[in-house]
Amino acid sequence: MAAVEGSEVGGSEVQLAAVRQVAVIGAGLMGAGIAQVAAAAGYDIVLRDVTPEALERGLGTIRSSYAKFVDRGRMTSDDAEAALARITTTTDLDAVAGADLVVEAVFEKLEVKAEVFRALDAICQPGAVLASNTSAIPITSIAATTQRPESVVGTHFFSPVPMMRLCEVVRGYKTSDSAVAVAKAFGEGVGKTVVVVNRDVAGFVTTRLISALAMEAVRLLESGVASAEDIDTACRLGFGHAMGPLETIDLTGVDIMLNAASNIYTDTQDETFAPPELLRRMVAAGDLGRKSGRGFYDHS
């Protein structure tokens, strides 16, 4: 907390201290993960999705993940029960109106996020911080759909949220120091190491770097320079990466990486990020990586 109370934070301590109720919009892979770590850290969570089925799936994931932590002795069953009891699920967006911090984790499409942020703008209390878990959409574009762009910030968590230690906090063009401080305190409060991205260039730092590497890896494969295995081995053994770029695409989802790189390419017009034809054809064919059983590798 000491780092957050530094001089650039200004008068945000009151707001920081007040963050208690957190709403998470979207109970998919990321939303459920964020709700899970936040509830375990003691925050009260309202988890909102559009259908009861999506909420039940999200809650099921959280329940089984807590059970694994308990089995491994990393959490007591009492703490897991208490954390679960701090999560309320709802399909009613009005239920998030009282939140101090809202973290949006819906589909990675500006139109979908814009609809959510316009609705949040209309119902949330003044001073509430509205965060997006987007991987690549500029926070400034999301913020511009609201009348309170100073309160909109990026909190980019990584998958699987309970395991991955990083959170990128992203400042949009009009994001206030206080909203950045609240987001940073939240990221640290749920046990992550936070890096602050001072300008919301498309892809921020992490998606920008992995997209450049991954698109080049696909181009090398496509043009027959090396096999998928050799490209990944080169990165693992040559650079000490935990995973090669093509393995990373398979894990993240071929469609997700195509979308992320396309967004950066649209914004920058930099050919580094132009998705190669092979990636588009894989998505059209349904080879989406681990989740579909096949991507650059056979996962069946």
Nearest CB to ligand NAD, comparing residues 57 and 174:
57
Give the CA distances from residue 223 to residues 11, 74, 185, in Å, rounded to whole numbers and listed in that order. Answer: 55, 47, 46
> How many binding residues for ligand NAD (CB under 6 A)?
25
What sign does the dihedral 270-276-277-279 (CA atoms) show? negative
Query: Is the preceding peptide bond at 138 cis, omega within 30 degrees of 0?
Result: no
Per CB under 6 A, contacts with ligand NAD among 155-174 are 156, 158-159
Q: Is 27 in the site for ligand NAD (CB under 6 A)?
A: yes
Among 25, 194, 254, 282, binds ligand NAD (CB under 6 A): 25
Residue in 3, 17, 67, 112 binding ligand NAD, rule: CB under 6 A? 112
176 binds ligand NAD (CB under 6 A): no
Q: Which two tokens stand for residue 246?
A: 């093509």
End-to-end Cα spacing for the chain: 45
DSSP for 201-231, please give it: -TTTTHHHHHHHHHHHHHHHHHTTSS-HHHH
Among 13, 18, 28, 98, binds ligand NAD (CB under 6 A): 28
Strand partners, 130: 102, 152
User: Given the complex with ligand NAD, which of 12 and 263 has the nearer CB atom?
Assistant: 263
| Residue with Cβ nearer ligand NAD (135 or 292) | 135
Instruction: Give the x-and-dash track for 196-235 against ligand NAD (CB under 6 A).
Output: ----------------------------------------
